[in-house]
């Protein structure tokens, strides 16, 4: 088995429950970890035998930047589902969405959620 991680991708999106979050937007940080069984690219060294990072990046970017959902949990699930469906090579995907500027009165580094889906 091989793991492919795409760590701390930063996007600007409009997910949130408050009207100002939907209007002004904010930064979201996304990490995607993909488990792949029998990843031939490890041996063949050919792009067509592995998961195309640029395709996955574009999927995540499109979902984060176009979504206006309320919850990062829903955003996270949407990303995980789309990434899992994007390649037969992916057997499991773990997505973490962080919201460092969540409208919470207190000190914190980030609020985040994680979703794991299996094929």
* Separation of alpha carbons 28 and 118, rounded Å: 24
CA 29 to chain centre: 8
Of 3, 55, 61, 99, the catalytic one is 99
* Separation of alpha carbons 66 and 61, rounded Å: 8
State yes or no: is 99 an active-site residue.
yes
Instruction: Give exposure, 36-51, as e/b (b: 16+ Cβ within 10 Å).
Output: beebebeeeeeeeebb
Secondary structure (3-state) at 91:
strand
Active site residues: 99
């Amino acid at each position: 088995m091989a793991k492919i991680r795409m760590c701390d991708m930063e996007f600007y999106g409009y997910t949130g429950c408050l009207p100002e979050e939907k209007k002004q937007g904010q930064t979201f940080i996304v990490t995607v970890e993909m488990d792949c069984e029998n990843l031939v690219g490890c041996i063949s060294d050919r792009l067509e035998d592995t998961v195309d990072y640029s395709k996955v990046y574009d999927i995540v970017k499109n979902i984060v930047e176009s979504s206006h959902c309320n919850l990062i949990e829903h955003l996270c699930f949407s990303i995980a589902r789309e990434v899992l469906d994007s390649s037969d090579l992916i057997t499991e995907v773990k997505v973490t969405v962080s919201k460092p500027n969540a409208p919470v009165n207190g000190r914190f580094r980030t609020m985040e959620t994680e979703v794991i889906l299996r094929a």
